[in-house]
Amino acid sequence: MSDQPTSFSAPRGTRDLLPPESWRWHRVFDLALNRVFGPAGYEPMDTPIFEHTEVFERGVGEASEVVTKQMYTFDDRGGRSLTLRPEATAGIVRAVLENRLDKGSLPVKLLCWGPMFRQERPQKGRYRQFTQIDIEAIGSEGPAIDAEIIELAARFLNEAGVEWRLLLNSIGHMDASCRLGYLEALVDYLRTHESHLAPEDRERIEANPLRAFDSKEGATIAVMKGAPAITEHLCENCERHFDEVRRMLDALDLVYTIDPTLVRGLDYYTRTAFEFVSDDLGAQSTVLGGGRYDGLAESLGGGHLPGIGFALGVDRLLLASHTLNEWQPRPVAVFVVAVGDRAGREALPLVTELRRAGIGADWDLMGRGMKGQMKGADRSGARWAAILGDDELDAGELTLKDLETGEQERIPHGRLVSDIQTKET
């Protein structure tokens, strides 16, 4: 057997999340929970990262590309088919039904954060394991919740420093008076132009014709430019709903563009569909997207329970942000520099005193000299260095150095906590 250690790397399409980027991820979640969505009544929750496969087959759609090509599905030891969650909404609605949240006060407003899994070609900002924030409002079918959800999304992106454009559409209800009538017209159009479609898009004309709008194939894209618009086939109720959503967005001074080709990539969407796109992301420009899913609960075996929500990928959000990528975390306020054995014995009690007072503090654990410890202070991101040496110990003092300005002063040892608290306010 070889004495050489085995060399491992992260699986393709995954990556390690390391500081300082990991700090920025948690800042995104803090922004979501504590500054935008939490104060609007959206409460944190989570679901298992794997579900019974049928949850996604019935919820997302058996003919959708997510189900047919991208899911990580496996059998457990009991022979049950399980799938790593490719998206959050189906599992969240399953959780609402199972835990009877729909029997309480409606709407149920939820915020979910966590990893999703899709086996697709990795590219910039897109991984096979990726983290999403999901916002869901379940129980109301009035247009007001649509407008609230879209406004919250816009405000979150503003807070995150993302420049965006809002695309809006209505894809109607899945009934004979609305989308089913449109699908007949769309299938007729696709059949007429079948020879010009990409082979993959020809195969799903009957099973999932709306997916032709999502095609990345140039031939199909050209054909779809002349396709009938779904907004021209809306029933009276869906048209009225869409008109009211737009009226409310206008009242909120939210600028949007009607995009009749916008259908989203999952089969459960109904009525309102929207995407926020950023020119900072290149061709794959969507940073946040969502819409209504008024029939999802019924497809999972529940009663009628309308809902609307959206998902945003944290990787893509950070790529598009003009502020978060510049943000530097500063959890450590004071770095204790101890010079000599006597000072070394005093360092941990001093660090502990600072931490117990709620002040971030760190110190050297490698036995470095003064120069090495000061480099450690710079690397820690601390604002101040508290320097202890024999002179300071003899005088009952320490040297407090401002690492940004270079200014320093000698202060009594017992004043360190109060001085830092004063400087941080």
- End-to-end C-alpha distance for the chain, whole angstroms: 61
Residue type, 309: G
Homologous superfamily of domain range 334-420: Anticodon-binding domain (3.40.50.800)
The CATH class of the 21-178+234-325 domain is alpha beta
> Residue 417 CA to chain centroid, in angstroms?
38
Contact 338, 171 (CB under 8 A): no
Q: How far apart are CA 112 and CA 85, in angstroms?
A: 13
List the pLDDT tens digit at each of the 425 positions of the chain: 455 656 789 889 889 989 888 999 999 999 999 999 999 999 999 999 999 999 998 877 766 777 778 899 999 999 999 999 999 999 999 999 999 999 999 999 999 999 999 998 887 778 899 999 999 999 999 999 999 999 999 999 999 999 999 999 998 887 667 777 788 888 888 888 878 888 877 877 777 787 788 777 788 888 888 888 888 888 899 999 999 999 999 999 999 999 988 887 667 888 999 999 998 887 678 999 999 999 899 999 999 999 999 999 999 999 999 888 777 778 899 999 999 999 999 999 999 999 999 999 999 999 999 999 999 999 999 999 999 999 999 999 999 999 999 999 999 999 999 989 998 87
Query: Whole-structure pTM over 0.85, yes or no?
Result: yes
CATH 3.30.930.10-classified regions of the chain: 21-178+234-325
Question: What distances in angstroms separate CA 24 from CA 156, 286, 382, one per listed residue?
Answer: 15, 20, 17
CA angle (86, 87, 91) in 5-degree steps: 110
CATH 3.40.50.800-classified regions of the chain: 334-420
CA angle (306, 257, 193) in 5-degree steps: 85
